[in-house]
Amino acid sequence: MKLNLNALVRQLRAAEANEPQFDEEVNPYLLHTVVPMLAQGELTLGQINFNEFDEEDPFTILRYFEWKDNLSRDLYRINSRLCRLPPACTKVRAFL
Asked whether residue 93 is assigned to any structural domain, the reply reads: no
What pLDDT is stored for residue 94 in this prediction?
A: 63
Asked whether residue 60 is assigned to any structural domain, the reply reads: yes
What pLDDT is stored for residue 95 in this prediction?
A: 64
Asked whether residue 94 is assigned to any structural domain, the reply reads: no
Asked whether residue 50 is assigned to any structural domain, the reply reads: yes
Q: At a CB cut-off of 8 Å and minimum separation 6, what does 22 contact?
A: 64, 67, 68
Mean pLDDT, consecutive 10-residue segments, the chain of 96 residues? 77 74 91 90 90 94 93 90 79 66
Angle at 29 between CA 57 and CA 46, to 5 degrees: 90
Domain that holds residue 72: 5-84
Sort 34 into a burial class: Cβ within 10 Å, 0-12 / 13-18 / 19+.
buried
What pLDDT is stored for residue 54 in this prediction?
A: 94
| Total of domains in the chain | 1
Distance CA 32, CA 20 (A): 20
pTM exceeding 0.75:
no
Distance CA 3, CA 5 (A): 6
What pLDDT is stored for residue 55 in this prediction?
A: 93
